[in-house]
């Protein structure tokens, strides 16, 4: 079974060295959306204007398959 990695950037990058075995890239997308929701909830209000949050999903060869990105901005 292929291994997928979920790298998160919020102020600094947290590289996923372990990854997770999943059946295919569609399962990796589903896992990414679940993880993104849980991670954003865990930020507990710490996403501030001018800073973003990003998750890159890569395969075992470090090819980027998906990018989930949230940008917090303050209107002018």
The answer, as to whether pTM is greater than 0.95, is no
d(CA 48, CA 31): 25
**Positions in the chain whose pLDDT score sits under 50:** none
What's residue 8's pLDDT? 94
- Burial of 11 from C-beta contacts in 10 A (0-12 / 13-18 / 19+): exposed
CB 27 within 8 A of CB 52: no
Q: Which long-range contacts (CB under 8 A, 24 or more apart) does 61-67 make?
A: 62/5, 65/4, 65/25, 65/28, 65/29, 66/25, 66/28, 66/29, 66/32
Please report the pLDDT score of residue 75 as a whole number. Answer: 82
pLDDT of residue 58: 98
Res 71: pLDDT: 87
Contact indicator for 35, 10 with CB cutoff of 8 Å = no
């Amino acid at each position: 079974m292929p291994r997928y990695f979920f790298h998160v950037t919020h102020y600094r990058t947290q590289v996923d060295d372990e990854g997770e075995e999943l059946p295919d890239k569609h399962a990796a997308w589903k896992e990414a959306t679940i993880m993104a929701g849980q991670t954003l909830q865990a930020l507990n209000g710490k996403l501030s204007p001018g800073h973003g949050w990003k998750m890159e999903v890569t395969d075992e060869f470090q090819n980027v398959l998906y990018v989930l990105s949230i940008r917090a901005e303050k209107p002018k």
